[in-house]
Amino acid sequence: MQEMTGKTVLITGASRGIGEAAAHVFAQAGANVVLTARSASQIQAIANDIGDKALAVTCDVANWSQVKAAVDLAIARFGAVDVLINNAGMIEPIGPISESDPADWAHVIDVNLKGVYYGARAVLPGMIGRGSGSILTISSGAAHHPLEGWAHYCTSKAGVHMFNEALHLENAGKGIRAIGLSPGTVATQMQREIKASGINAVAQLNWDDHIPPEWVARTLLWMCSEDADEFKGHEVSLRDVAIRKRAKVFE
């Protein structure tokens, strides 16, 4: 297991699924973990379970001032943010462009794309000042392939993919590791929402077709190691069996 003692990891969307699993995996590796989400009670319960190394901060990633405040609180408590995990994301409401609500459509962009930018913008000054830091962002196959009913989600994830490349271009020489993770389909609440929509092939998958969020969390931990440096500025695909072995997701 990658050693993270003394490091601080800030996780967005940490109230359930991948974010919750990542909080536990990184804490087990010795890291301080800062859990952010809109649901205060859920992240506080997870933080209480982890103990003194965890801090819960209520935060809507679509709001720049809240993201900046969350990062400031993390620095005040633990001294720095060494790893940012941009995990918060949404896909509802699923449906055709012709019937979409402009406000709902825009909100998905605010969360999935602008939220990633806000997180990076808030942690970058500190990371650049120290000459080190990792910004890990959950991407998706939807960044590269359109899916019916998912125009908002696909568009946001395509933007995230390009943002990761731009982040690497500007900051790799300053010690910043920017890496995306395309996990495939994961057994989370989002997949329940997709299933309920009945739209496109992903909605037809069975629950046991999806990988557990713990696999994604273990991969994120591995991505903090030098073994993942070849992917800086690019994406790691968890569909790749070789990556699953390198990340030791089966342990």
pLDDT at 191: 87
Beta strands in the chain (DSSP E): 8-12, 32-37, 54-58, 83-86, 133-138, 176-182, 235-237
Q: Which fold has domain 8-246?
A: Rossmann fold (3.40.50)
pLDDT by residue, tens only, the chain of 251 residues:
678 999 999 999 999 999 999 999 999 999 999 999 999 999 999 999 999 999 999 999 999 999 999 999 999 999 999 999 999 999 999 999 999 999 999 999 999 999 999 999 999 999 999 999 999 999 999 999 999 999 999 999 999 999 999 999 999 999 999 999 999 888 888 889 989 999 998 889 888 889 899 999 999 999 999 999 999 999 999 999 999 999 998 75
The active-site residue out of 78, 150, 153, 163 is 153
Q: At 93, is the secondary structure helix, strand, or coil?
A: coil
Give the global pTM.
0.95
Can 153 be counted among the known catalytic residues? yes
Instruction: For 64-170, list the strands marked E by DSSP.
Output: 83-86, 133-138
Angle at 176 between CA 173 and CA 180, to 5 degrees: 120
Strands of 133-138's sheet in order across: 54-58, 32-37, 8-12, 83-86, 133-138, 176-182, 235-237
